[in-house]
Structure 1
């Protein structure tokens, strides 16, 4: 992969996460989360990768495997694309479970599940992109169906008989995504624009649906399926794509047409989930909202303890003078020479212009668990 191809590939790893808040009511309900599940299974991309990409060695080009990644919680890089814990980490701790090991980890205990997410993952397989002439800009280290195969390969670690597996998975939560961010990055960073990306949407939604059906067939009975975040609010897009000031929201600084695109994806995803609920009435399928929280971060930052500012990465470097405020530079990304981290990541929701801070992920996890950032809270009040 050449320099430009590698850069585009790593940028195509983008998949974004969002944030929600949980108030006093949620705090009073937290105890009910303990013991709710005895296992977690997580599928996804760089928003949820806990180290799968680096299990067989760290690629030299991979800045996310260097400090300041991991500085806030772990004190060292772990392969997570954040300064600390991810949504899945916060969920595990709320349930009283250990942090999920990457599924590719050697000599790990999978007694409480595994994390199959890997940086660069897509809903659709690599041949799909190659058939559309996008093989050079997609860096697919493990698409959704590939991750599900990894799950099947690990089943002997969880259970040994059909009945045992049925009981084990019945007490587990499956987190499926988000998926779609990297699928859409392929046409966007290849210069096809929003109209080109829209053409991918039906296939992306179908790919996610197929993955959900495959997991249900394996025994999943409770799952949360997150949508995508508002693409137009992230510094990587604001810096890399040619967007006029007229196309941005006056209060948020986000690009309207990109946010509309993300909203449409989520609308189609929710409609698909409704169909699956009707088809599988004994399976609980929750929609996890990433979109609304990020918008709230932009419009009501003080509600979450964030500084009021236009989209800005905590860790990065200024780019051209007109885009310096985003603190994202493709030649000096977080973890690379020339980039620095802000003094207090808890005041930022965007960590590196592509992924979120630990603080942001914590808000999302709370919002999924107790509301309001899920179409039904994972933890239902009694």
Structure 2
């Protein structure tokens, strides 16, 4: 991308912002029996989101042939846990580590109709958006992977509660001992807007610059709507009786190999000390600032509930800054482990992990990025530790015995 794009991107986002080392053990297999012990009174988890926490809904929806995420439901995904399960990683996700730490079985996907949902349900779907397809279409953005947006997942949640309880009071009783995760979701809304206007590979023309700026503008326009959707979903579950809700922020988009490869900025000033794109990280922080404002409003409206902000951005940056002491390969922090093997980020949008010509790195446990978009099992383990045991989710949604 031409060097003149970066200052424009940064200036635009800054104006808007001012205006506003040891691996943990992997979780065990999901169990149908009761958990061995209840941690902080939590007996169930209800999770909404996208590929960051999907444990098999997209797989059951049926990946569309030719879709960018079609390979996530087959090997080498799941290589660290004996096979593909629909998780977008080589193994387990943050939601799996959280369930394990709470002494609960791993969350089964809602679309697995024969599953045991005694201790919670996972409604997350890979590719899901915070806004529905119609809202995105109004600004010319398509949701190519799934129609199971946040509003659809909320309807699944309502349907589940109606089918398993007899009254609103019983719903409140059930939610009183539950943890509700509203996201991460919203990242795909921005991804699709950016992707629709990404420059051609190696593009340096004025037209390429124009496409990127259009993508930025469309994404910025989406931010208030995305945040409103996430906060609205959280408000609904709080109204239904939820007492502990976690709302994650956005990751630092500028650190993702997929974005780094797409932008391919040549000016050193475009990058921070971690090798991440400053402009895109400012965009992610704009989302996070608005989201935290919404969370503060929820806390005022529901003072008896715990509404926690999970700082995915801060936890990820901490992982980058302490990568070597955590056992990650310091020379490959922005490289995908599984990819086409070309370029400095090992990422090609046209040949994502699992496609022909891609390969897996020798030691995935030393990498942060699995496929250029999602993290490795090891990185998700570290993220879960930072969020739920090291204070990056605040106020703490769970009080673990050793804390």
What TM-score do you get using the length of structure 1 for normalisation?
A: 0.86
Question: Aligned partners of 1:220 and 1:377: how far apart in 2?
Answer: 16
The one of 263, 266, 281 aligned to 1:244: 266
**Mapping of 1:1-382 within 5 angstroms?**
34=39, 36-61=41-66, 62-73=70-81, 75-135=82-142, 138-156=144-162, 158-191=164-197, 192-249=214-271, 251-309=273-331, 310-319=333-342, 324-380=343-399
Q: 1:122-156, CA deviations, whole angstroms, 9 ceiling, x for partnerless residues?
A: 11111011111223x54443111110100111114
Structure 2: 5+ residue stretches without partners: 1-20, 25-35, 198-213
Aligned-residue offset at 1:246:
3.0
SS of equivalent to 1:173: strand
Answer yes or no: is the 8 Å Cα contact 1:370–1:378 preserved in 2: no
Q: Give the aligned CA root-mean-square deviation in angstroms.
A: 2.2
Question: Aligned partners of 1:127 and 1:244: how far apart in 2?
Answer: 37
Question: Aligned partners of 1:184 and 1:56: how far apart in 2?
Answer: 23
Question: Aligned partners of 1:325 and 1:244: how far apart in 2?
Answer: 13
Cα pair distance change 1:42/1:257, threshold 3 Å: same
Aligned-residue offset at 1:242:
4.8
Question: Aligned partners of 2:135 and 2:179: how far apart in 1?
Answer: 29
Question: Aligned partners of 2:303 and 2:40: how far apart in 1?
Answer: 24
Aligned-residue offset at 1:332:
2.1
What TM-score do you get using the length of structure 2 for normalisation?
A: 0.82
Aligned-residue offset at 1:171:
0.2
With CA pairs under 8 Å and 6+ residues apart, which has the higher RCO, 1 or 2? 1
Structure 1: 5+ residue stretches without partners: 1-19, 24-30
SS of equivalent to 2:46: strand
Aligned-residue offset at 1:372:
2.4
Answer yes or no: is the 8 Å Cα contact 1:194–1:258 preserved in 2: no
Cα pair distance change 1:40/1:176, threshold 3 Å: same
Answer yes or no: is the 8 Å Cα contact 2:50–2:127 preserved in 1: yes
Answer yes or no: is the 8 Å Cα contact 2:316–2:383 preserved in 1: no
Cα pair distance change 1:244/1:158, threshold 3 Å: farther
Cα pair distance change 1:379/1:22, threshold 3 Å: farther
Question: Aligned partners of 1:32 and 1:243: how far apart in 2?
Answer: 51
Cα pair distance change 1:158/1:88, threshold 3 Å: farther
Question: Aligned partners of 2:397 and 2:300: how far apart in 1?
Answer: 19
SS of equivalent to 1:303: coil
Compare CA radii of gyration and give the structure with the larger one.
Answer: 2
Aligned-residue offset at 1:58:
4.3
Residue 32 of structure 2: aligned partner: none
Aligned-residue offset at 1:304:
2.1
Question: Aligned partners of 1:150 and 1:178: how far apart in 2?
Answer: 17
